[in-house]
Chains A and B, each alone.
Chain A
Amino acid sequence: MHHLTGARRVAGVALLLSLCACSGSSDDNETSRQIELSTHSLTFSAAAPTAATPAAQTITASFSAGIANLSVVHTGQGIAKVTTAVNGTTAQIVVTPSDPATIGAGRFTGTLAVTGYFCADTACSRLEAGGSQTVTAKYQISPVVDYVAPNVATAGVSGTAVIRGSGFNGYAIQSVKFGDVAATSLTVVNGSEIRAAYPALPAGSYAVSLGIPTHEGTPPSTATLIAVDAVTRTAQTLPWPAAVTAVTSLRHDAQRDALLVSTDIADGTVVRYAHAGGAWEPATTTAIAGVRDIALSTDGAQLLALSRTGLTPLDPVTLAPATTIAAPSLPEKSFLKTLAVANNNLAIVTTGIAESKATELYTYIVRTGVMTKLPTALNNASMGSSTNGALIGIIQGDSTLTTAPAAYTYAAASGTFSPLGVALNQNSVAPVLDRDATRLVLNGVNVYGADFALLGKLPETTLAVSLRPDGKRAYTYDSAAAGILTFDISATKNGAAFTALGAATPLAAAPGASAKMTISADGKTLFIAGTTQIVVLPAPLDP
């Protein structure tokens, strides 16, 4: 028993000695378990969801030589990739942000943790963490406003505008401003479209901007709403600069108050009549061989002229042509037929062929100048667009068809073609819509509402039709009346015929055959172009 007690005493002393032996540590080659980073915060920014990925940034980590492992983990949508390269006791940690197009607009916060690991036991059979350092990565991808449509407003008249761009879903948008004037209401339709109402504005240019408190700085915008005074024009005719046998398209440039017409003069000529100081200036022309249709881009910066095989951007004032973009893989015997520009500045191009046959459509991206063939095919389709570019009506068919084909629409907000639920074989009158796509007229006769229900019918003798910007009146150039008839289309007739409001308004002169009609943005003037001349007519007032 004594022996055992002695052994325990010896053991106890030995235990104390052994633990004391551990307490002395050497200063030689001391290993620090801490890591030092060159920075603890990174900031990335992209000007738009469509912008290029910002450049990667590098963090330098310094650590002691005894470290066994260096691990970098990260979280957050904003960080796409982290790579680490070690050189001695430093590491270069390269942080690559995510592609803006992949994650969309918004403010993204990510965290990156750099941890050194050390052997946890004397045989290094496992690792345990030493110090860990974190880096906060902030990444702002701005929403961007590209376009406002229509880009022209009538001074002193309130209205609504469609604002197109990208990244609108990435932030809580508190306000929209036109210059310094706040929108009276706004609706974020989707990530690329906002609808905003503006009050009556004085004539001038108004930069469109978004109010986003959580966004650092002002979100970028290239959109400008131009308010122009309403113009009173007298009834008169404008002569062609040369003989015309076909008018293919008639547009009014509201921003610059000019008429733009595509004709078959000399196998294809675009004619421009500017109106200034209460008078029309002489026509200027540019030859575009085989021109079939013309349309202004959403921002009014270009006039697009469609010929049989390609699309030529023109200066909307001088008509100076830029390089023609040929339609890729255009099938033999088919040709480019009509053109309409959606409010995201994407032009839709239909094709035709001298028979009853479906041929593919094209898109043309105005900003990039790229034309692409679509898988969608229609039979010699014709189009018309609302002034705000939100909706394009499409009708197709051929006189030889015994069964009417489906009419379609193209919705700019979704970028999709949809059958209208109506079967109609097209005639010579292209689809017509009002400013905000509340009314659609097909074949110059059938009037549909915003839900595409048939509201009523216009006379079968209609040669051309225009709708007042508010969609409440239809003006028809009527062959029987030899003048302009006015119809109240604000209420449905449940598919029955609309009754003209009063007698026909006579024209200053007959425009001639192949008549096309359009209306000024202020709704105050009608323009009818035929093979004889262009007729200018103040829009009839309600009797």
Chain B
Amino acid sequence: MTPRIYAGAAVAASALLCHSALAENRAVETVHFELGMSSIDSDTKDSTSNGTLGANLIATLPLGRYFGLSLGGRYSESSVRTRDVLEDDSGSLPGGRPSCNFDSYGGDASLFFRLPTWGRIGASYGTGKLSPDCNGGSLFPVTGENTLSTEHYRIDAEYYLGDFTFGVAHTTTTLDDGPELESTMLTTSWYPLDSLKIALSGHDLYDENTYGILVEHQPEMLGDVLSVRLGYSMTEESPKTRTFQIGLSYYFGREVSLKSRDRQYR
């Protein structure tokens, strides 16, 4: 699958470069800030489910006419619902319910080339740290410790076609000194309205197929500064995992439609 992705990315990049002379707008119209909050519920069959509350801040800066730089930071905390696996056959818990939480923070930087009428290509680098706090013990096998540092590199490309955006991203993630995780994500987004986006995605992290749908709406009545996201994804492999997401983003600066924001501002 990976050669197919690279080929697609190369085609998209060539197409973008060929048409650059025809570009009418800048890659990033103006400095753009986005403050987001999200709640994600992840439910694994016959295992624990956990809820994650997170926040992120992303700044996108223009670099000349064709380039943009995106800098972001994030923090999230996941609470594991331990009762799911500890209750006995009668549904009662023998003793108190232990807590188990994961903290995660990190940041990334992305440099991209964009022609707003055609698409963009970019590369990203990010780091992060995960740390658990579980009654009983929790550690990361690759380190044998209770913290895990992550690094990831990503190349991505998007192609804008009318009300559709086609995206491909390949990410290489390193867990401390452990194995590298390679994954490719394909995304197709449709804007039935300029204020509404429906995105279908699929990725192959751990060589398992995960499919998702995300609906994002930026209502005009709220002044085009706020968007709401609802998402659902599922992993087919055993054990099956389903993820529900609800998110809210607030944008500082220019009040533009969601479609314009995606293609010209962030």
User: What residues make up the interface of A, taking CB atoms closer than 8 Å to B?
Assistant: 4, 7-8, 10-11, 14-15, 18-19, 21-31, 33-34, 63, 65-77, 82-86, 88-89, 91, 93, 108-113, 115, 117-132, 134, 136
Which B127-153 residues have a C-beta within 8 angstroms of A? 128, 130, 132, 134-142, 144, 148, 150, 152
Given B40, B139, B205, which contacts A84 in the complex, CB threshold below 8 Å?
B139
Point out the residues of chain A lying under 8 angstroms from B166, CB to CB.
Answer: 11, 14-15, 18
Question: How would you classify the secondary structure of chain A's contact residues: helix, strand, loop or mixed?
Answer: mixed
Point out the residues of chain A lying under 8 angstroms from B208, CB to CB.
Answer: 25, 31, 33
Instruction: Please tell me if the beta carbons of A31 and B188 are within 8 angstroms of each other in the complex.
Output: no
Interface centre among B1, B139, B185, B241 (most CB of A within 10 A): B139
Which B148-163 residues have a C-beta within 8 angstroms of A? 148, 150, 152, 154, 161-163
Point out the residues of chain A lying under 8 angstroms from B141, CB to CB.
Answer: 63, 67-70, 86, 88-89, 91
Closest to A88 in B: B141
Q: Distance (Å) between the CB of B150 and the closest chain A CB?
A: 5
Point out the residues of chain A lying under 8 angstroms from B48, CB to CB.
Answer: 113, 115, 129, 132
Q: Distance (Å) between the CB of B198 and the closest chain A CB?
A: 11
User: What residues make up the interface of B, taking CB atoms closer than 8 Å to A?
Assistant: 1, 4-5, 40, 42, 44, 46-50, 52, 54, 74, 76, 78, 80, 82, 85-88, 93-98, 100, 102, 104, 106, 108, 126, 128, 130, 132, 134-142, 144, 148, 150, 152, 154, 161-164, 166, 168-169, 171, 173, 175, 178-179, 181, 183-188, 190, 200, 202-209, 211, 237-239, 241, 243
Instruction: Please tell me if the beta carbons of A124 and B173 are within 8 angstroms of each other in the complex.
Output: yes
Instruction: Please tell me if the beta carbons of A124 and B181 are within 8 angstroms of each other in the complex.
Output: yes
Instruction: Please tell me if the beta carbons of B243 and A128 are within 8 angstroms of each other in the complex.
Output: yes
Instruction: Please tell me if the beta carbons of A75 and B98 are within 8 angstroms of each other in the complex.
Output: yes
A121 to B56, CA, bound (A): 15
Instruction: Please tell me if the beta carbons of B190 and A73 are within 8 angstroms of each other in the complex.
Output: no
Instruction: Please tell me if the beta carbons of A127 and B85 are within 8 angstroms of each other in the complex.
Output: no
Point out the residues of chain B lying under 8 angstroms from A68, CB to CB.
Answer: 130, 140-142, 148, 175
Q: Distance (Å) between the CB of B104 and the closest chain A CB?
A: 5
A328 to B217, CA, bound (A): 82
Q: Distance (Å) between the CB of B123 and the closest chain A CB?
A: 14
Question: How would you classify the secondary structure of chain B's contact residues: helix, strand, loop or mixed?
Answer: strand
Instruction: Please tell me if the beta carbons of A132 and B106 are within 8 angstroms of each other in the complex.
Output: no
Given A11-B164, A124-B173, are A129 and B130 also a contact pair (CB < 8 Å)?
no
A126 to B173, CA, bound (A): 13
Point out the residues of chain B lying under 8 angstroms from A72, CB to CB.
Answer: 134, 136-138
Given B54, B152, B181, B238, which contacts A126 in the complex, CB threshold below 8 Å?
B54
Point out the residues of chain A lying under 8 angstroms from B190, CB to CB.
Answer: 11
Q: Distance (Å) between the CB of A279 and the closest chain B CB?
A: 64
A106 to B114, CA, bound (A): 70
Instruction: Please tell me if the beta carbons of B98 and A129 are within 8 angstroms of each other in the complex.
Output: no
Instruction: Please tell me if the beta carbons of B86 and A73 are within 8 angstroms of each other in the complex.
Output: yes
Interface centre among B1, B136, B178 (most CB of A within 10 A): B136
Closest to A85 in B: B144
Q: Distance (Å) between the CB of A520 and the closest chain B CB?
A: 53
Given A11-B190, A73-B134, A130-B239, are A111 and B203 also a contact pair (CB < 8 Å)?
no
Instruction: Please tell me if the beta carbons of B204 and A111 are within 8 angstroms of each other in the complex.
Output: no
Instruction: Please tell me if the beta carbons of A24 and B134 are within 8 angstroms of each other in the complex.
Output: no
Point out the residues of chain B lying under 8 angstroms from A123, CB to CB.
Answer: 106, 108, 126, 128, 150, 152, 154, 171, 173
Point out the residues of chain B lying under 8 angstroms from A70, CB to CB.
Answer: 138-141
11 A-B residue pairings within 8 Å (CB atoms): A4-B162, A7-B163, A15-B166, A25-B207, A67-B141, A68-B140, A68-B175, A70-B140, A126-B102, A126-B104, A132-B48
Point out the residues of chain B lying under 8 angstroms from A63, CB to CB.
Answer: 141
Closest to A127 in B: B102
Instruction: Please tell me if the beta carbons of B164 and A121 are within 8 angstroms of each other in the complex.
Output: no
Closest to B167 in A: A18
Extra inter-chain contacts (14) besides given A69-B140, A129-B241, A136-B88, CB under 8 Å:
A8-B162, A8-B163, A18-B166, A29-B179, A29-B207, A71-B132, A75-B82, A75-B86, A75-B96, A84-B139, A115-B47, A125-B104, A132-B46, A134-B86
Interface centre among A67, A128, A134 (most CB of B within 10 A): A128
A84 to B144, CA, bound (A): 9
Instruction: Please tell me if the beta carbons of B78 and A127 are within 8 angstroms of each other in the complex.
Output: yes
Q: Distance (Å) between the CB of B119 and the closest chain A CB?
A: 12
A86 to B144, CA, bound (A): 6
Q: Distance (Å) between the CB of A160 and the closest chain B CB?
A: 38
Instruction: Please tell me if the beta carbons of A71 and B209 are within 8 angstroms of each other in the complex.
Output: no
In order of increasing CB-CB distance, the 3 nearest A-B pairs are A22-B202, A11-B164, A7-B162
A337 to B27, CA, bound (A): 100
Closest to A65 in B: B179
Interface centre among B1, B141, B241 (most CB of A within 10 A): B141
Instruction: Please tell me if the beta carbons of B164 and A7 are within 8 angstroms of each other in the complex.
Output: yes
Instruction: Please tell me if the beta carbons of B95 and A110 are within 8 angstroms of each other in the complex.
Output: yes
Given B106, B162, B184, which contacts A125 in the complex, CB threshold below 8 Å?
B106
Instruction: Please tell me if the beta carbons of B162 and A132 are within 8 angstroms of each other in the complex.
Output: no
Given A109-B94, A134-B85, are A124 and B139 also a contact pair (CB < 8 Å)?
no
A69 to B150, CA, bound (A): 13
Closest to B187 in A: A18
A34 to B47, CA, bound (A): 10
Q: Distance (Å) between the CB of B207 and the closest chain A CB?
A: 5
Q: Distance (Å) between the CB of B65 and the closest chain A CB?
A: 26
A122 to B150, CA, bound (A): 11
Closest to A18 in B: B186
A85 to B139, CA, bound (A): 9
Q: Distance (Å) between the CB of A91 and the closest chain B CB?
A: 7
Instruction: Please tell me if the beta carbons of A110 and B47 are within 8 angstroms of each other in the complex.
Output: no
Q: Distance (Å) between the CB of A60 and the closest chain B CB?
A: 14
Closest to B124 in A: A123
Given B1, B82, B108, B171, which contacts A73 in the complex, CB threshold below 8 Å?
B82
